[in-house]
Amino acid sequence: MKKLFISALLLVFLAACASHTPAPEPKGTPFPINQGYEIKGEVRHVL
């Protein structure tokens, strides 16, 4: 019973790792937000 639970947990962990590999695509979206922050930083620089 314990072995089955551990194997299921390992499978979930592996699935999480597999879903993490395509993560760089969603990570690319914050970059435009960062550009906006850079513009805000420039405004602060003027102050």
What is the DSSP track for 1-40? Answer: -HHHHHHHHHHHHHHHHHHHTTTHHHHTTHHHHHHHHHHH
Q: What is the pLDDT, as a whole number, of residue 5?
A: 82
Look at the pTM and tell me if it is higher than 0.85: no
pLDDT above 60 (res 41): no
**Average of pLDDT values for 7-35?**
59
pLDDT above 70 (res 11): yes
Q: What is the pLDDT, as a whole number, of residue 7?
A: 83
Instruction: Kindly list the domain boundaries of the chain, sorted by start residue.
Output: 2-46
Chain centre distance of CA 12: 18
Q: What is the pLDDT, as a whole number, of residue 4?
A: 86
